[in-house]
Each structure stands twice: as C-alpha cells, then as structure tokens.
Amino acid sequence: MSSKILHVLTPLLAALALTAPLAAPASSSAPASPPGAAAQVATAPAEIAAGPVAYAGTVYFTFDDGPSYTYTPKVLAVLRKYGVKAVFFEVGQNVSWYPSITRSLRYYGNKIGNHTWSHPNLTTLSTASVTWQLNRMESALGYRPRCVRPPYGATNSRIATIIANRGQRQILWTVDPRDWSRPGTWTIVNRVLANVRSGSRILMHDGGGDRSQTVAALNILIPKLRARGFVIGLMAC
C-alpha cells in the first residue's frame, strides 16, 4: 500500500475506534435490580416482631367433682405444662378413695375447695345435714379449706349463712361451658371464649364421668386465653 493511501486511512481508522461501543457483558437471566435495592435488603429486619398484647384481665379456672383416678392427673399435667394453677372443688368420697391425687394437686400449688361429702343439693337438706356434709368432706381432706362450692350451684341465703358462719367463702362461677355434658372439645372452647371477661371464674370438671373433652379443651384454652391478653390466676381458697 502506498504511503499516500496510508496517510489518508490512518486518521479515519482512529476516529472509528473512538466511536465504537464497548462490548456488552454476558447476558443474565435475572433482571437488573432497581437502584437502591441492595441497600433495602441489607437494612430490612429478618423478622417482624409481634406487638405486645394488651392486658385483658385475670381469669380463674376451677374444677369440680374430683378427684378422678383417670382424669385429674391429666388435668394436672396440662396445668403444669403451662405453669397454671387452679382451685379443685372436691367431693369428700372421692378424696377418701384417692387421697394421693389430692396431695399431688396441693404439692404442685393448686388449691382444694369443699364440694361436700356426697354431692347433694344442699338446699333440700336440714341445717344439721348441710353441716355434716361439709364436716365429713373436711375430715377426709384433713383440714378446713377457705372456699365452699355448693353442688349444682344450688344455694340460698340459709346455705350462704351456714358457710359464712364457718369462716368460709361461698364460690360459684361466671362462665359455664357445660363440659360435663360432653358437647365436644371445640364447643367447650368456644363457649368459654365467647363469655370470658376480666375476673371470670371458669367452671370445668375433672370428675363425675368421662372428662377427656375437658382435658383436650383445657390444652387449647390456656394458650388462646393468653393470646387474647388474659392472665390466668389462682383464687385465694
């Protein structure tokens, strides 16, 4: 090639080199991140913490008609699982049959209440017979508890006076899921949750029949009540 031609082509080739685009990078299947995305990922929390649940009040579990050889230990196991204590209104005849179960309840911090010797309707008895029912239960128990629950909730001014004159408190309930009728585990749960309020005394049963539904419902109720902000307390009995 002549020097004259080279003299003409050299500046043209240099100009073309300066204006040619750079080679494109290898293609990727992932779309490009928007500006600032990396910073957002780096600063986002790994997990959003649940906010605190508002305090909804204190509620109390009570159990009637035990002790039962089969179901009272199962109720106790659920209570211990969640660190909950309750008042057990026991029938004296059952206490005399299963004293070790009553001792176990007390050992783990639960309270025992007087539910009479043989579970009669106290309003149909003479004053002397009412007194005998309460004394006989306490003889089997070995001491006088602070609280009495008349069977069936059957009471009147005479019964209330007899109990008060003994230096004891008559304790009824405010929430009754009728668990004794075995309506189904979730029926028991839903009845309690629909009616519970601050200060509620929840009636359940550990004796008097098949209480498997009660045990199952209790295992559901305790965490659900806590999730709603309730504290589960122990009555002074």
- The encoded tokens of residue 170 equal 């008559």
Give the Cα separation of 182 and 216 in Å (integer).
11
| 4-18, 156-170, 213-227: least confidently modelled range | 4-18
Per-residue DSSP letter, 46: S
Q: Tokens 């002549």, residue?
A: 2
Q: According to the model, what pLDDT value does residue 229 have?
A: 97
State the pLDDT at residue 50. 54
167 has pLDDT over 90: yes
Share above pLDDT 70 across residues of the chain, in percent, rounded to a whole number:
78
| pLDDT exceeds cutoff 70 at 227 | yes
Active-site option among 65, 115, 205, 206:
205
> In the Cβ-directed half-sphere of 22, how many Cα atoms lie within 13 Å?
3
Tokens of 5: 């031609």
Quote the CA–CA distance of 202 and 60 in Å, as a whole number. Answer: 6
Could you tell me the pTM of the whole model?
A: 0.78
The active-site residue, picked from 64, 65, 179, 206, is 64
Residue 2 in this model has a pLDDT that exceeds 60: no
Catalytic-residue membership of 205: yes
Nearest residue to 170 (alpha-carbon basis) of 184, 192, 151: 151
